[in-house]
Amino acid sequence: MNDGTREEELRELVQAHRVCFECSTDLSAYTGEVKPVGFVVLVFATDEDPADEPSPGCELCVPVEAALDKVVKYVLPDEKDRSTLFDVSFSHAISYDKKRHARPDRTAMIEILHRNGANEPIDACERRCRDEIVGRLKGLGACERTWHEP
């Protein structure tokens, strides 16, 4: 499968699951002083149009979580020769945030930190990685904060 086909399939998943994202600064108080040490990108996806209300781990969650996994894997930059580390985690809980009109969301969290010492100040590589991730999400049609129909 070529990249164009893969990107089209991912755009369809983003549309079907109304993928949104939020980006924030990751803070640390390791030294007793709160300081920025990286970034966090939260990626949200919801059910296409469920007839029933989903519950954590139910069969309705499977396609949403699979779509979220594919999108997150695609947007991560290539780690080779970078001083940045990506820590990805998925929540199996369902969240209902009023920012996204209390829809049943599943969430993936991408932490962008230093590979050698997670409590170091933000550097240019971390900023570039954040920008690549956000740019790829937008390129697939994901919306910042709240879903908007195209």
In the chain, the largest separation of any two C-alpha atoms, in whole Å, equals 50
Q: DSSP E strands: which ranges in the chain?
A: 20-28, 35-46, 84-95, 105-114, 143-144
**pLDDT at residue 40 greater than cutoff 90:** yes
Residue 149 falls inside a structural domain? no
Closest CA to 24 of 47, 48, 6, 42: 42
**pLDDT at residue 36 greater than cutoff 70:** yes
Q: Assign 4 a pLDDT band (cuts: 50, 70, 90).
A: low
Q: For residue 149, report the phi and psi dihedrals to the nearest 5 degrees.
A: -60, 140
Residue 150 falls inside a structural domain? no
**pLDDT at residue 28 greater than cutoff 50:** yes
**Which of these ranges, 3-12, 21-30, 66-75, 86-95, has the smallest mean pLDDT?**
3-12
Kindly state the average pLDDT of the residues 72-93. 87
Number of domains the chain contains: 1
**pLDDT at residue 39 greater than cutoff 80:** yes
At residue 118, the pLDDT reads 72
Domain that holds residue 72: 3-144
Phi/psi-derived region of residue 96, left when phi > 0, alpha when psi is between -120 and 50, beta in every other case: beta
Residue 13 falls inside a structural domain? yes
Q: Assign 61 a pLDDT band (cuts: 50, 70, 90).
A: confident
Residue 111 falls inside a structural domain? yes
